[in-house]
Structure 1
Amino acid sequence: MSESTQTFTDSGVEDSINRDAQLWPEDTGQLTAASRKVLVHLVKGPYLSAERHKEAWRVLLSDTVAIRSRLADLFLDLVLDEAQGVAFVRNAPVEDGVAPQVVRTMALTFIDTALLLFLRRELLRGSGTQRVFIGKEEVIEHLSSYKANESTDEAGFMKRINSAWTKMEKHSLLLSGGAGERYEISPILRLIFSPEQIQAVEEEYQRLARTAEPSPTEAGKEGSGA
């Protein structure tokens, strides 16, 4: 392995884009092993957290330019919010629209949509605090107001609520603290939707509420590889 060549970003932070980081004989990559792991984490999703992934977060901040460049090669855009302590990738906004959609969307039912909007509203309402928690009973109480639109079958309605809750857990939008029954609302919900996307989701949600037809809708979940 040849001697490493270090480069620096404008901020003076060391970057590995031109560093010889050969990990096996045929390896032509230039990122260090740590930076490659961060790259994989971001692509697989759903996101990187400063609190939950401390070492990976440190590596991301020290090698942002190189990692961002490698993501761009995959038609992916890095969203990095140091204040919120979260980072994720989204499909790059290519002007001609011919780029492949690497990040998949998450199909949302009527109840999924109602839950997602409720979680985001509660998160923004508690924006003055670092972390916002919620209990499942609060979610059930809120969603119960839409029971007439969704179903008159109590058991079936609760099944759909549980399914929506499980989906939010699966995509790390609800985070279990491992103790008690309250879950943290992921701060990524402040970032993954643009105002235009939120408006589109809300309009579709209102349409479903008016028609009372629980058909699926699509909402882009940026930063999820799941």
Structure 2
Amino acid sequence: MNATEHGQAEPGGRNEAALWRNDTGTLHETSRRTLLHLLKGPYLSGTTHSNLWTALLADEAAIRSRLHDLFLELVIDRDDEFAFVQKVHTDELDVPTALRNEPLTFLDTAMLLTLRQILLASGGEQRVIVGKDEVYEQMQVYRNGDEVTFERNLNSAWGHMKDRYRILHKAADDRVEISPVVKFLIDADRVRELTAIYRNLEPSEQDTGE
């Protein structure tokens, strides 16, 4: 690595990565935008942000180091080209929480489980495309209360999957592509735990998020 790579200051104090007067940052502009995108979440897609993905791979070590400064770990899936950050997990110290966690409604979590199951059952297909009706049909097992209320709550959860978590992307007509990042939003142990709990819930105990 030369003296100015990743914006290292040259002899005499000049910062090659400086973007404004008195800027002490050492990452180049695109790498800074990549870091910011990762922090804003929910994830970085190489398909939709190819320039940021290229910067991430080029400056991975430096970006990973900046995230460690914030007690965050960088997770990269190079095959499906996406990356996200999560809290560092270690027994060596009490790690503070740097990320804001949004509570999931019952149907949000149930829909995540359903989408994850559909994705994993696809047999490794490059793209997994489904229709809303297909997902809603599988969600009927979680129905509680009247049909109108349940449909409204399903629509709310579907909107969260598309807009808040960005794991559903429009494919054609009323069909969507499931992002492979859904595999990482809930780990396997949590899937087993939640599935067992939800399947044994009495209908009156299910919180549909209203």
Cα distance between partner residues in 1 of 2:147 and 2:95: 45
- Shift, 1:121, TM fit: 0.5
Q: 1:91 to 1:213 in 2, by over 3 A?
A: same
Cα distance between partner residues in 1 of 2:74 and 2:170: 26
Q: For 2:45, which of 49, 66, 72 is the aligned residue?
A: 49
Paired position in structure 2 for 1:9:
none
CA contact (8 A) 2:153 2:208 kept: no
- Shift, 1:4, TM fit: 5.9
- Shift, 1:182, TM fit: 0.6
Which structure would you say has the larger RCO, counting Cα contacts within 8 Å and 6 or more residues apart?
Answer: 1
Paired position in structure 1 for 2:166:
172
Q: Which amino acid aligns with 1:146?
A: Y
Q: Which amino acid aligns with 1:214?
A: Q
Once the two structures are superposed, what CA deviation does each residue of 1:152-173 show, in whole Å capped at 9, x if it has no partner?
x111110111011111112102
State yes or no: 1:73 paired with 2:65.
no
Paired position in structure 1 for 2:112:
116
Q: Which amino acid aligns with 1:198?
A: V
Which has the higher mean CA deviation after the structures are superposed, 96-105 or 83-92? 96-105
Once the two structures are superposed, what CA deviation does each residue of 1:138-162 show, in whole Å capped at 9, x if it has no partner?
1121112332xx11x1111101110
Query: Structure 1 regions of 5+ residues with no counterpart?
Result: 7-15, 218-226
CA contact (8 A) 1:50 1:86 kept: yes
Cα distance between partner residues in 2 of 1:115 and 1:193: 11
Q: Which amino acid aligns with 2:95?
A: A
Cα distance between partner residues in 2 of 1:98 and 1:169: 34
State yes or no: 1:201 paired with 2:197.
no
Q: TM-score, normalised by structure 2?
A: 0.86
State yes or no: 1:214 paired with 2:206.
yes
SS in 1 for 2:185: coil
Number of aligned residue pairs: 201
Q: Which amino acid aligns with 1:213?
A: E
Which has the higher mean CA deviation after the structures are superposed, 70-79 or 21-30? 21-30
State yes or no: 1:125 paired with 2:104.
no
- Shift, 1:17, TM fit: 6.5
Paired position in structure 2 for 1:154:
147
Which has the higher mean CA deviation after the structures are superposed, 163-172 or 196-205? 196-205
Paired position in structure 2 for 1:183:
176
CA contact (8 A) 1:68 1:77 kept: yes
Cα distance between partner residues in 1 of 2:123 and 2:54: 24
CA contact (8 A) 2:44 2:84 kept: yes
SS in 1 for 2:85: strand
Q: Which amino acid aligns with 2:4?
A: T
SS in 2 for 1:79: strand
SS in 2 for 1:88: strand
State yes or no: 1:107 paired with 2:109.
no
SS in 2 for 1:106: coil
Cα distance between partner residues in 2 of 1:112 and 1:136: 14
Query: Structure 2 regions of 5+ residues with no counterpart?
Result: 10-14
Q: TM-score, normalised by structure 1?
A: 0.81
